[in-house]
Chains A and B, each alone.
Chain A
Amino acid sequence: MAEKVELNEIEVWDGNYAVSQALRQAQVDVVAAYPITPSTPIVENYGSYVANGLVDGEFVMVESEHAAMSACVGAAAAGGRVATATSSQGFMLMIEVLYQASGMRVPLVLTVVNRAVASPLNVRGDHGDMYAGRDSGWVQLDAFNAQEAYDLTLCAFKIGEDMRVRLPVMVHQDGFLTSHTAQNVRPLQDDAAYNFIGDYKPHDEMLDFSKAVTYGAQTEEDWHFEHKAKQHKALFDSKEVIDEVFAEFKKLTGREYKRVESYMMEDAEVAIVALGSTVETLRVAAEELRKEGIKAGVVAPRVFRPFPYDEIRDALANVKAVCMMDRSAPMGAMGALFNEVSAALYTNPNRPVVSNYIYGLGGRDFSVEEAKRIFKEQKAHADAGHLTTPIQQFSGVRGPKLGFFETKRS
């Protein structure tokens, strides 16, 4: 039996430490990992918990991230509670196996510390890796600070392991901005955290020899489509379980999560939609602008997949101008958040002016001042009743102003 740890009511933890504590409290059976900056401490700490008898589990050293995720899928199919962590290039190497995990419907948890993708090489935070996972069939939860990284990791096990879901879940946090920033974190005690998640319930586990199963079957055009359709439905349907788990978590902790978080949106005239720690910085800017008379609000998908189209549409129902901020190089397109949110808004009778900002690549600082400037640009669109800039602009990049794609007006 693993030894329990007495935690303080308030700890000062960074995002990595917070997540590793959540893995310990979940009593994860297997972590197979190939550590990479900035997510290294998550699996490193888990390894030390195993060595020190604080978790009854197995730390598996492997030769690459591809092998790490493969070992995780195998352990999950065998019937264990499984988790690992990665970032950036490691995430890219895992991608092939991410699709295997979701296709086989094994509920493992991947904690992703978001980091830019090379080339050029960069260890800092942007959302390039997170975006690369968006078609992989996983539930993707997004934390904006260390407390949320901890909370959502606990929720991730409960969501993915629910018999109505049985899908793998990613928990994202921003590299360095969250992973290496220590803040006040209010953890649950070990028993409360474990009981919230519950015992792992195996399903179709390979180690049950009385009910032999084959994982990884081949399906050609006669069967493949049906299986992918079922998987897609399972991912969309997971939203009900996500809502239930968030509601139960609120009952336990008082901390409320929603699939779409809205701040100061009741009377907002202009809004910004973003992901990650930026959401909180935007709130600082919006609060300051309200003192200047600009009705600014912030909307953030807490759940990136399944994408919360209905809730996004409702949250932005009454704004006059809204921009989507993507922290990932879109390379020849609008940013992914712009595309998703615009699609949601197109189903509304009231269609606000929409635009897209690319910002913060490779960890470039995103300041309150720049946030206020962008809000004010939205205000100018709202007042004009149409877009006054190109649809896509770059924020905080050196060199001449960079913008793409113009609205066609007659």
Chain B
Amino acid sequence: MIEIRWHSRAGQGAVTGAKGLGDVVARTGKEVQAFALYGSAKRGAAMRAYNRIDDKPIINHEKFMRPDYVLVIDPALAFTDNITENDKETTKYIITTNLSKDELISQIPELQDKKDRVFVVDAIGISLETIGRSMPNTPMLGALMKVSGMYDLDFFLDSMKRVLAKFPQKIIDANMEAMTRAYNEVN
């Protein structure tokens, strides 16, 4: 079982990202779960989304999770939200930031003993340059593919094309570029 926790602001697309990931994973014969926890949601409020991935049907419905991956798609939440909550010795972090990895870690005490498990990508910057608006969810998925090695990039992009099929071609192309850049730039 792989467990993923997203830290996001309502409106940044964490739920869509989690469900999109679920769609891709389900196409490969795996079982998925995607859900979210938010208060009486308004855009901008901090919220969390979750994925579980397994080879057999997922029957655990607890919200409690010890994540294998923590995906932070809002730069400020890395500082204000408890992103290391319930983590494990092996939990990997992918954090959206325009800072370098060292700059970021130096400002977040909780991450200082986990340096080799922290990865950074400027998902906001990439989405602004490719999609034209702040939509860090799909680039984050590109970065996750690189860090986790879950699927190779071509297979993943091909699957995401089908997930995004309801959008105009221009948007699909921009998302493909965003995911490819994040895959290559995450470090």
Tell me if chains A and B make direct contact, with any CB pair below 8 A: yes
Chain A residues positioned under 8 Å from B57 (CB to CB): 184
What is the total number of residues of chain A having a CB less than 8 Å from a CB of chain B?
26
For the complex, what is the distance from the CA of A283 to the CA of B62, rounded to whole Å? Answer: 12
Chain A residues positioned under 8 Å from B33 (CB to CB): 181-183
Task: Say yes or no: is A272 at the interface (Cβ < 8 Å to chain B).
Answer: no
Task: Say yes or no: is B63 at the interface (Cβ < 8 Å to chain A).
Answer: yes
Chain B residues positioned under 8 Å from A367 (CB to CB): 62, 64
Residue in contact with B32 in the complex, picked from A12, A145, A280, A365, CB distance below 8 Å? A12
For the complex, what is the distance from the CA of A369 to the CA of B60, rounded to whole Å? Answer: 11
Task: Say yes or no: is A64 at the interface (Cβ < 8 Å to chain B).
Answer: no
Number of residue pairs A-B, CB distance < 8 angstroms? 64
For the complex, what is the distance from the CA of A14 to the CA of B33, rounded to whole Å? Answer: 9
For the complex, what is the distance from the CA of A277 to the CA of B63, rounded to whole Å? Answer: 12
Nearest residue (CB) in B for A147 is: B57
For the complex, what is the distance from the CA of A135 to the CA of B18, rounded to whole Å? Answer: 40
Within 8 A of B (CB), among A344-385: 365-369
In the complex, what's the smallest C-beta–C-beta distance from A250 to chain B, in angstroms? 17
For the complex, what is the distance from the CA of A12 to the CA of B27, rounded to whole Å? Answer: 9
Q: Are A12 and B19 in contact (CB under 8 A)?
A: yes
In the complex, what's the smallest C-beta–C-beta distance from B171 to chain A, in angstroms? 20
Task: Write the B15-43 contact mask toward A (1 if CB under 8 angstroms, else 0).
Answer: 00011001100110001111110001000
In the complex, what's the smallest C-beta–C-beta distance from B24 to chain A, in angstroms? 9
Residue in contact with B61 in the complex, picked from A11, A184, A281, A369, CB distance below 8 Å? A281
Q: Are B64 and A181 in contact (CB under 8 A)?
A: no
Task: Say yes or no: is B58 at the interface (Cβ < 8 Å to chain A).
Answer: yes
Task: Say yes or no: is B150 at the interface (Cβ < 8 Å to chain A).
Answer: no
Q: Are B62 and A181 in contact (CB under 8 A)?
A: no
Q: Are A10 and B26 in contact (CB under 8 A)?
A: yes
Please name 21 pairs of A and B residues whose Cβ atoms are closer than 8 Å in the assembled complex, sorted by A.
A11-B26, A12-B22, A12-B23, A12-B34, A145-B61, A177-B35, A178-B61, A180-B35, A181-B34, A181-B61, A182-B18, A182-B22, A182-B32, A182-B34, A183-B31, A183-B34, A183-B58, A184-B31, A281-B61, A367-B64, A369-B64
